[in-house]
A and B are shown apart, each in its own frame.
Chain A
């Protein structure tokens, strides 16, 4: 526990602090720039793009060694990964647009081929004399060991640029994600905007490669916006909430993995993000599972209450136990089903509401108003008092509900 607190407050050593800050920044950048990836329903494209970074890493290493370097320059490796990732992205786009293959087939093909090529290159590099200590396989699942200050700077600068670009391009990207035909009709170049959006995502994947690894980076792009969607109905807010979720997951995940030996950072970050997602899924107001269950139960209760009272008014027996329990709890019927004084009054009121609606739907011209009849909405919420008075004039005096209902 103290190890966790130390790590949380950045007191667990220089490297742990660097990793925590870097992971937080990366999480924020990935979450916010992943927003439109999620809204455009392109999550899996980014997975393929992330896998397509691997051959770039290998080729860059070989090239740098061939030119006389030691091949481990992070900037050089990331530049190489960006090149093959971009080629993979263009290939997917080209296959989906120009051939009869659907996008999912293109994604599968590019992901498999590029990743396979990358693994082959890694094996070749292992056999090279310079390749022994290259540690390139850490790009698969990420690694925090020996993270340098310059690595954190790469993440901070790249991540800030990605967030800024996401915010700048939010209007065209929203439009393309929501209604691409309309976007094209008013003059946006949909293909270019899609490529820009994927390019942003690719850039974030590349800068996150070292820390989280190419296999799991897609989770950092997608889980935060999916989580954020539970908390808001506005796409602009999804960007910031997703950034917050991603940042928190990155920071907390890094802290957790630093506070115990041998916990891998990338996977722990993803699990923390997933935990925030599950909490949102269950407990978010409006869109959460719990809220939906409660809403449904409230609605069910309203329906049963109304049906029960209408049955009382019509002097029918109520057979359904749930309805009886509901009415008994409100003191509207006795446990044996006989209506109480209050129950008879309520029943008369509901029956009158129903008859008023019947008249309203017969004589009122405004379909927009009479269309609101659903058997549950009280007529006072829809029509004005003078209109209701007119319905009553046509109905005649109220009818009381007979007390002897249970014996009928």
Chain B
């Protein structure tokens, strides 16, 4: 369905049909990944390949397994089956190349910590248990805050920030990790317009620096402007490929079913 990869192994009835598929060295490759809560699969036998030097969107309705897929790719939640490769190697050996921006609602914002403390969390792995945060590392954290326009807020308690500012702090923490693959869970959910622009600018810069960005995204109207590559999911993989090839009316209909009204589709600048 797309010109970008070898025909991605079609998962028929949830069974990966190419058992010998060798992992490519793409930033993020999933093969036959199933994640289940209790005995209800949230993600079923999903294959996906997210390309280098591009911005990819994971798209699907509520409960389609978007965030679950992302967390499984990170190894945050256990998977029932399947393989995950980051730049061609198993996740356990490549963790330092991944940065993660969780959903803003997932943490307690009254926690006693400042903006600068949160950004420095992105450096904890580098510093280790006993190491001191050296001047240059502190400078790096400050520079990351500056990139998201939050330098003036370094010493605020995080609960005093607006939703958009909180999201920027999370992004700065991921930037401090200086990773090659950025995974973001709904980075634009509930943020103001100025923040959305600021975030997308940072992400596009990452792309031009040769890094890969994968974001769970829910606003269909901005897919075409922001992303190069889409992955449509509703528990199973529906389609993936370049925005031109895969972000089509037919694929969206298949992903959202009756939940996406025809009038809504007309408003989107989708192909075919």
Contacts and interface: CB of A to CB of B under 8 A. Distances in A.
Given A233-B114, A235-B113, A178 B95 contact: no
A229 B75 CA distance: 33
Interface stretch (A70-78, A88-96, A181-189): A181-189
A172 B129 contact: yes
B219 to A, nearest CB: 18
Residue from the set B100, B107, B122, B124 with the largest chain A CB neighbour count within 10 Å? B124
B108 interface: yes
Main secondary structure of the interface of B (DSSP, over half): mixed
A211 B125 CA distance: 39
Given A182-B121, A185-B76, A186-B177, A168 B129 contact: yes
Q: For the side of the interface on B, what is the size category? A: 20 to 34
Contacts of B122: 186
Interface in A166-196: 168-169, 171-172, 174-175, 177-179, 181-182, 184-187
A232 B157 CA distance: 10
A39 B95 contact: no
B130 interface: yes
B117 A234 contact: yes
Interface string B99-137: 010100011100111100110011011010110000000
Nearest to B197: A367
Interface in A330-384: 366-368, 371
A366 B149 CA distance: 14
A188 B192 CA distance: 32
A238 interface: yes
Contact of A179 (B74, B106, B183): B106
Contacts of B71: 181, 185
A129 to B, nearest CB: 51
A200 to B, nearest CB: 15
Interface in A213-254: 229, 232-235, 237-238
B95 A187 contact: yes
B22 interface: no
B102 A181 contact: yes
Contacts of B76: 181, 184-185
Nearest to A186: B125
B149 to A, nearest CB: 9
A185 B75 contact: yes
Nearest to B113: A235
Given A179-B102, A186-B177, 9 more contacts: A172-B129, A174-B113, A175-B124, A182-B173, A184-B74, A184-B76, A185-B100, A234-B113, A235-B112
A174 B114 CA distance: 12
B188 to A, nearest CB: 15
Interface string B54-77: 000000000000000001001110
Given A175-B124, A233-B112, A186 B157 contact: no
A174 B100 CA distance: 17
Nearest to B179: A186
